[in-house]
Structure 1
Amino acid sequence: MTLYHFGNCLALIYTPYYFSYKYSGLSEYGAFWKCIQAGGIYMFTQLCKMLVLATFFPFTDNAENPDLISEFLKSTVDLADIIGMYVVLAGIPGKGHSKVLTAGIGWATAEVILSRALLLWVGTRGQEFDWRYIQKCLESNVSLIQHISTVTLIWLWSRHDLQKTFKPIVTGLIVFNCYKPMLLDLLISVLLTGPWTALLIKAFVTLCVGVVTLQIYAGLAQAIGIY
């Protein structure tokens, strides 16, 4: 039972990442090492964020009365992810869809390996089944969509041929993605929802952002012929 649970969680968390790489055409572009490079930049970015958080925002156990200003400033540190993704995009040659998918999948894969691998190895090998790990796996799949959407927004923002009417929308969505974890956690704490409902809320919001991003990207791609 323990081995079955562990294998089930591994398949649930990593299969969408593999299929995204395999069937998006990235394997034909030889993008594997670019994904590795994106993962390296991800690790460096997270190290910088950890140093900033540990220096200016030491951990305090105050979950019952969180300081909103402190949480806002902590979420502001996530702007470093935007810089890291921009650096990844700048270092990837090729067309728009290959750049976006390579950066997004590479970044998301590095995150899921560093943040979920040890958790699954320690947790799912226990004697008792726990739905918490299934929820974490599904949440990682939501993160894949979020990272690809964020990278797409950064690519759109960097384009000089993006219509001016879309520029505020793209900028607003980038900023929203930075503060989305804080906002969703605040909403979930107010609604007092369970873990499954919280997961559905996160998935719904991420899907909405992804659909809007896809519409803007599709319009620009069709206009300049980068499919």
Structure 2
Amino acid sequence: MGLFYLANCLALAAGPYVLVYRCSGMKENDAFWKCFKYGMLYGLMQMLKFFLATLIPHDVDTSPKNVFYMDIMSVILDLVFIYSIAYRASSRNEFNLLVACMGWSTAALVSTKFVPIWFGTKGVEFNAIYLCLSYEANLEMLLTFVQFYALWLLIHKQGSFSNCSVVLFILTCASMRQMLFSFIDRVMQSIFQALLSKTVIAFVLGTFVLSLKRTMKLDKVNKTPWITATWKSLSDLIHPLWTQHIVPALGLKPVRENRASLATNAKRHN
């Protein structure tokens, strides 16, 4: 009976991954080894985290504030690796980004979900905790796709300032999902209520990313740095307000009108 329960948990956890791999055209394009390479990159990132963890003194303060800062550093390291992958995929087609998402999420599934399920379900006939853990693996895949595609949209930067702000908020929520899910587990009394809340969050973020992907222009990659592009969008938003309200109130003339008047005066003198 325990073996049957283990098979059910593994099927629930890995089934959607197999469906995405087969239905997205990866099998026809021989993308298995590419997914394996991105999975190895995920393993390299985890080894780097382990190495950095050995540099922390053993008598460090483990208060919630310091633990939060450590989690932030882990999120930043994840974003650095994912940004390098998404930036490389942005110069190619979208299929490479899909392969990167699949390889990254599959490696996360094997390292964070398969091991607890494999050792936890031995000799157990039924336990709802491992079924919920298998279901959370599907949410992790969805949020990994959200994280990759949000960075991909920011790299293209073809949308408005408001769209980029929404994408940045979605990226922040998807990157800090472990802390958010831990908070939900502490607040919610029932494990099924917590699972429902996590599902709603994952599907809302995924829906927003899909809608922004349709609205934002993605025909070419903008090579301008993201901070410069955001500052330009913000200046384009403030400039009409400045010329309509601030300049008349101060009794100033716009710079363009001053230049035009100087040019006409120079022509008259000539």
How does the TM-score come out when normalised to structure 2?
A: 0.73
Consecutive unaligned residues of structure 2, counting only runs of 5 or more, are 221-270
Q: Is the 8 A contact 1:75 1:178 kept in 2?
A: no
Partner Cα distance (2:57, 2:126) in 1: 35
Q: Is the 8 A contact 2:12 2:134 kept in 1?
A: yes
Partner Cα distance (1:163, 1:68) in 2: 37
**Counterpart for residue 194 of structure 2:** 198
Partner Cα distance (2:9, 2:58) in 1: 33
**Counterpart for residue 209 of structure 1:** 205
Partner Cα distance (1:78, 1:164) in 2: 24
Q: Is the 8 A contact 2:147 2:174 kept in 1?
A: yes
Q: Is 1:114 the equivalent of 2:96? A: no
Counterpart amino acid of 1:182?
M
Counterpart amino acid of 1:176?
C
- Equivalent position to 1:172, from 169, 173, 176: 169
Listed one character per residue, the Cα deviations across residues 34-77 of structure 1 (whole Å, up to 9, x for unaligned) are 21111111111112223334433859997xxxx34223212212
Among all aligned residue pairs of Structure 1 and Structure 2, give the percentage whose two residues are the same amino acid: 24
Provide the alpha-carbon RMSD of the alignment. 2.5
**Counterpart for residue 214 of structure 2:** 218
- Equivalent position to 2:178, from 166, 177, 181: 181
Distance change >3 Å, CA 101–CA 57, structure 1 → 2: farther
**Structure with bigger RCO (C-alpha 8 Å, 6+ apart):** 1
Counterpart amino acid of 1:55?
L
Distance change >3 Å, CA 216–CA 118, structure 1 → 2: same
Listed one character per residue, the Cα deviations across residues 179-207 of structure 1 (whole Å, up to 9, x for unaligned) are 23223422442x34221111111111111
Partner Cα distance (1:60, 1:80) in 2: 21
Q: Is the 8 A contact 2:157 2:164 kept in 1?
A: no
**Counterpart for residue 93 of structure 2:** 95
**Counterpart for residue 22 of structure 1:** 22
Listed one character per residue, the Cα deviations across residues 84-124 of structure 1 (whole Å, up to 9, x for unaligned) are 1222234446422x133211111110000112222222222
Consecutive unaligned residues of structure 1, counting only runs of 5 or more, are none
Partner Cα distance (1:197, 1:59) in 2: 37
Partner Cα distance (1:59, 1:47) in 2: 22
Partner Cα distance (2:207, 2:219) in 1: 20
Distance change >3 Å, CA 200–CA 157, structure 1 → 2: same
Distance change >3 Å, CA 195–CA 57, structure 1 → 2: farther
Q: Is the 8 A contact 1:31 1:102 kept in 2?
A: yes
Note the C-alpha offset of 1:78: 1.4
Counterpart amino acid of 2:93?
K
Distance change >3 Å, CA 175–CA 119, structure 1 → 2: same
Distance change >3 Å, CA 10–CA 61, structure 1 → 2: farther
- Equivalent position to 1:105, from 87, 102, 105: 102
SS at match of 2:162: coil
How does the TM-score come out when normalised to structure 1?
A: 0.85
Q: Is the 8 A contact 1:49 1:78 kept in 2?
A: no
Q: Is 1:8 the equivalent of 2:8? A: yes
Counterpart amino acid of 2:65?
I
Distance change >3 Å, CA 59–CA 81, structure 1 → 2: farther
Partner Cα distance (1:202, 1:50) in 2: 28
SS at match of 2:52: helix
Partner Cα distance (1:101, 1:57) in 2: 39
Pair member with larger Rg = 2
